[in-house]
Amino acid sequence: MSKVDRRAALRKHNQEQGDSNRFTNQKTIIKSEEELAEFGITYYPLKSGDNGTKRTHSLHWLAPHKDDGVLISLELYVHYSVGPENSQFLCPKMMKKVISDNDFYDGLEVPDKFSSGKCPICEQRDAVWSEAQDIQRGSAEWDAIKQAAKPFSCFPPRYLIWIRDANDPNKGGTQVTIFPSSVHDELSSLCDSDAESGGEIVDPSDPEDGRIVRFTREGKGQFNTKYKTYQIKTREAIPASWADVPHYFDVLNICTYEEIAEEFGSGPPVTTDNKSEAKSKEKPDDELPENTDKEDYPTDKAVDEYPSDDYPTESTETVDDSDVEKAKSSVAELRERNRLKKQKIDKDDIPF
């Protein structure tokens, strides 16, 4: 099934089920509205206007918790559309790596659930890519494998930010939002060469000399949205009370390798040292904030990008449908093999 056909089928299914019934057990990376309320914050959705019209977002960018390092945002690597409920999970592998390898996160501890640094979805991606080892880079079959690996990617990153709505800072109070990579990069670029500071680098979250960031969003749905018109403006010193923000990981749902594997359907890999089935874990709260339209919640699947210079470049060569189906068949075979392994089926009984 092509990407277009899949979207059309999903759209039809959602219409038949009704918006209130779709993805009722969906897991998300942001905690529920009730859980956020415990910290006195809400989620700020980056919505378009009615019917996809242009909407301007004008935001105070707030500094992180004093114990969360000096970076003014948390880099997030997210796997989207996981399992039958289209769930999202923070990637344990990349989250551990980005925190451990970045001095700017000094003081921010890697959560215990990320301590293994392993991710079942990344393992599946690597398994798909392993089939390309002896295939010529840029060939049609190689491109087909690349396409088959894309659903398992967690790139590009997104960024968790603390904000207040500059139009009415006290109405919503402190809020958490997630910037797409493009929005974060554009605003960061403006801060790196701020004209109002004589071209000097500025910290938009600085309580004394920070900035209000502005941009527009228009369009509807996951694939027809555009962010434009990026601006930063000077602001007066903000109240000291605005510095009272939670820790980054206080507002994120964090899942273990086993919890992700259970939803993903692959289970942990079977090795000579470990043939035990993944134990069931307590599932995180799957409720989306009630004030967030699911269409505007950050569930859109990321564009693939591999964190290595070895990542294949785009090819202009036409990809034959038969090669795509061959690659997809290989992915299905890998998933079925893993499923059978999880059920402890004897190797001789696996029909491959």
SS3 per-residue string spanning 154-173: CCCCEEEEEEEECCCHHHHC
**Contact (CB, 8 A) for 230 and 193:** no
* 23-349 CATH, one of 2.160.10.10, 3.40.30.10, 1.10.3810.10, 3.90.198.10: 3.90.198.10
C-alpha 31/C-alpha 176 separation (Å) is 11
Helix (H, G, I), strand (E, B) or coil at 245: coil
Decide if 323 contacts 140 (C-beta within 8 A). Answer: yes
Looking at residue 195, its pLDDT comes to 65
Q: Are 297 and 91 in contact (CB under 8 A)?
A: no
Q: What three-state secondary structure class fits 59?
A: strand
Handedness of CA 75, 77, 80, 83 (dihedral sign): negative
DSSP-based helix, strand, coil % in the chain, nearest 5? 35, 15, 50
Segment (H or E) for 76: strand 74-76
Predicted pLDDT at 47: 94
Domain range summary for the chain, segments of one domain joined by +: 23-349
Q: What end-to-end distance do the CA atoms of the chain give, in Å?
A: 24
Q: Coil, strand or helix: which one is 176?
A: strand
C-alpha–C-alpha distance, residues 306 and 155, integer Å: 7
Give the strand pairing for 42-43 and 175-179. Answer: parallel
3-state secondary structure of 278: coil
272 burial (CB, 10 Å; 0-12 / 13-18 / 19+) is: exposed
Angle between helical axes of 140-149 and 321-342 (0-180°, round to 10): 40
User: pLDDT by residue for the chain (352 residues), tens digit each?
Assistant: 444 454 455 445 444 444 433 445 788 999 999 999 999 999 999 999 999 999 999 999 999 999 998 889 999 999 999 999 999 999 999 999 999 998 888 889 999 999 999 999 999 999 999 988 889 999 999 999 999 999 999 999 999 999 999 999 998 999 999 999 999 999 999 998 776 767 788 999 999 999 999 999 999 877 789 999 999 999 999 999 999 999 999 999 999 999 999 999 854 443 323 333 333 332 232 223 333 333 333 333 333 333 332 222 233 333 445 544 554 455 455 445 444 444 443 333 333 2
Q: Give the pair of three-digit tokens for residue 349.
A: 């009984």
| Nearest by Cα to 161 from 285, 245, 283 | 245
Tokens at residue 218, please?
A: 């228009």
Vertex 164 angle, CA 70 and 227, to 5°: 90
Q: Is 215 left (phi over 0), alpha (psi -120 to 50) or beta?
A: beta
Single pTM value for the model: 0.71
Is-contact 36 251, C-beta < 8 A?
Answer: yes
